[in-house]
């Protein structure tokens, strides 16, 4: 019985070391695989109660594990949608065969720590191995709606259209214009001062607001009063705003706005220093300055001087690139210089990362051993951030694996020697009968 148990123990040793050799060879073979997590084998002795005066070998058993929580170093790339997670958390992905025609909600959730995502023929960001990046879609204003964080509801394959066009309508204009004080004095010509400001409507069409400043010429002295007329080219030159501007002439405040009275158009907001006009292309807020404060409209000297005119908005632009920032926001950039948020990629965190089920393509899925998952904003909570233009290298340490390879080889040879010795002893036992 004792000799037989020695044989079984040697066989168990061979099988266990063969399994360890398999993990070592897998680790070395994937030493250049981006995002690879190394596998390890732990040995456990088996003890059999043999009673007093005898001993039976129990042998050895193994348990294998993939160390998913180990991270490789990050390496820079030239692709903006090469992504890697720096710190805890994993990227949500799904299989490419789940992204079918008409499929809108059945996307099996897989996790990965890195991937080289590029737009395919349909615009989906996917890796060459067939993993499609998931994210929450933004609304028309570039805002991410509220989605549940403990389920994948709302996550959808990220799809970009490089032929996409967008318009950025003008919503605000800031004026810094000096009006000539001499034109509001008695005997002045009363000629209006004109300023044309281009804006872009909701369809990206360029239009103009024609501003005319008409001085109020008194019979004597100075009125310090102007009428500002705002005409919209998109409305056929109709007046969309008329305001009476009065400027201060007291020491220390000379030339600054004293009051703004609306005749037509939106009222003056004294807290913001703005008026709102209803242009045909959409409402526009015009910043003319605060009462009694420098900047905006002023009345000094004897010349009309448009110091600066700044505005938002741009003409129709075409998409040039897509990038993912450290917080997971996917932004589309256009040749007009604007950018739009189109998706947000969350990071998925679980209680026991090493309890995830391992699949090919360096992807994983949630199991009861891993615990329930939660979707975090990248850089928030326990998760790290997302690094673009980067990939995560393999977690394999080749030098360490080669050292273990030598140890495994010696252990395997030693167990083979045990089997050979037991065989010789059994042979001697058989010879007793002769």
Query: For residues 218 and 111, what is the distance between their CA atoms, to the nearest angstrom?
Result: 77
CB 183 within 8 A of CB 326: no
Over residues 124-139, the mean pLDDT reads 94
> What's the confidence (pLDDT) of residue 164?
66
Q: What is the pLDDT of residues 222-257, one digit of tens each?
A: 999 999 999 999 988 999 999 999 999 998 888 999
* pLDDT bucket at 159, cuts 50 / 70 / 90: very high
Q: Which carries the bigger pLDDT value, residue 5 or residue 90? A: 90
Over residues 14-25, the mean pLDDT reads 95
Q: Positive or negative CA dihedral for 52, 55, 56, 58?
A: positive
Count CB-CB contacts under 10 A for residue 92: 23
By percentage, how much of the chain surpasses pLDDT 90? Answer: 70
Question: Is residue 105 over pLDDT 70?
Answer: no
SS3 of residue 218 by DSSP: coil
> What's the confidence (pLDDT) of residue 1?
55
Q: Which carries the bigger pLDDT value, residue 202 or residue 137? A: 137
Count CB-CB contacts under 10 A for residue 49: 7
Instruction: Give the range among 41-50, 142-151, 413-422 with minimum mean pLDDT.
Output: 41-50
* pLDDT bucket at 213, cuts 50 / 70 / 90: very high
Q: Which of 104-118, 132-146, 384-398 has the highest mean pLDDT?
A: 384-398
By percentage, how much of the chain surpasses pLDDT 70? Answer: 96
Q: Is the pTM of this model over 0.85?
A: no
β-strand partners of 260: 245
Average pLDDT value for the chain: 91
Question: Is residue 86 over pLDDT 60?
Answer: yes
* pLDDT bucket at 118, cuts 50 / 70 / 90: very high
Question: Is residue 102 over pLDDT 60?
Answer: no
Instruction: Give the range among 102-116, 134-148, 227-241, 374-388 with minimum mean pLDDT.
Output: 102-116
β-strand partners of 215: 226
Question: Is residue 434 over pLDDT 70?
Answer: no
> What's the confidence (pLDDT) of residue 423?
85
CB 336 within 8 A of CB 319: no
Q: Which carries the bigger pLDDT value, residue 140 or residue 380? A: 380
> What's the confidence (pLDDT) of residue 6?
84
Q: What is the pLDDT of residues 264-322, one digit of tens each?
A: 989 999 999 999 999 887 899 999 999 999 989 999 988 899 999 999 888 777 788 89
Q: Positive or negative CA dihedral for 94, 100, 105, 108?
A: negative
Give Cβ neighbours of residue 251 (< 8 Å, ≥ 6 apart): none
Over residues 134-155, the mean pLDDT reads 91
Hey, what domains does the chain have and what are their CATH numbers? 2-67+395-431 (no CATH), 80-164+345-392 (no CATH), 170-312 (2.60.98.20)
Phi and psi of 98, rounded to 5°? Answer: -85, -15
> What's the confidence (pLDDT) of residue 20?
95
Over residues 13-38, the mean pLDDT reads 95
């Amino acid at each position: 019985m004792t000799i037989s148990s020695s044989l079984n123990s040697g066989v168990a040793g061979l099988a266990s070391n063969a399994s360890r050799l398999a993990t070592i060879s897998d680790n070395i073979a994937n030493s250049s695989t981006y995002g690879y997590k190394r596998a390890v084998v732990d040995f456990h002795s088996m003890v059999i109660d043999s009673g007093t005066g005898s001993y039976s070998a129990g042998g050895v058993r193994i348990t294998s594990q993939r160390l998913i929580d180990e991270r490789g170093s990050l390496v820079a790339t030239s692709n903006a949608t090469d992504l890697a997670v720096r710190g805890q958390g994993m990227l949500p992905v799904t299989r490419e065969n789940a992204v079918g025609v008409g499929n809108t909600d059945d996307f099996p959730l897989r996790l990965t720590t890195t991937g080289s995502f590029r737009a395919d023929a349909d615009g989906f960001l996917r890796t060459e191995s067939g993993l499609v990046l998931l994210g929450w879609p933004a609304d028309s204003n570039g805002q991410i709606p509220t989605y549940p964080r403990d389920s994948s509801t709302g996550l959808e394959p990220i799809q970009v259209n490089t032929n996409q066009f967008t318009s950025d309508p003008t919503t605000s204009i800031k004026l810094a214009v000096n009006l000539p004080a001499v034109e509001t004095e008695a005997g002045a010509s009363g000629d209006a001062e004109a300023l044309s400001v281009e804006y872009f409507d909701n369809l990206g069409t360029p239009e103009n607001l024609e501003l005319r400043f008409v001085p109020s010429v008194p019979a004597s002295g100075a009125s310090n009063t102007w009428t500002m007329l705002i005409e919209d080219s998109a409305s056929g030159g109709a007046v969309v705003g008329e305001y009476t501007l009065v400027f201060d002439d007291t020491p220390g405040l000379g030339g600054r706005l004293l009051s703004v009275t609306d005749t037509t158009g939106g009222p003056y907001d004294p807290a913001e220093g703005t008026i709102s006009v209803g242009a045909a292309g959409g409402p526009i807020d015009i910043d003319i300055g605060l009462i009694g404060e420098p900047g905006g409209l002023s009345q000094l000297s004897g010349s009309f001087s448009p110091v600066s005119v700044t505005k938002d908005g741009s003409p129709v632009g075409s998409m040039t690139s897509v990038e993912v920032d450290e917080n997971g926001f996917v932004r589309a950039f256009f040749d007009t210089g604007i950018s739009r948020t189109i998706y947000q990629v969350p990071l998925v965190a679980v209680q026991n990362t090493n309890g995830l089920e391992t699949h090919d393509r360096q992807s994983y899925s949630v199991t009861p051993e891993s615990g329930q998952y939660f979707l975090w904003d990248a850089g928030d909570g326990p998760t790290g951030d997302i690094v673009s233009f980067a990939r995560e290298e393999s977690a394999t340490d080749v030098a360490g694996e080669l050292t273990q390879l030598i140890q495994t080889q010696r252990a395997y040879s030693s167990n083979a020697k045990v089997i050979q010795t037991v065989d010789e002893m059994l042979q001697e036992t058989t010879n007793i009968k002769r």
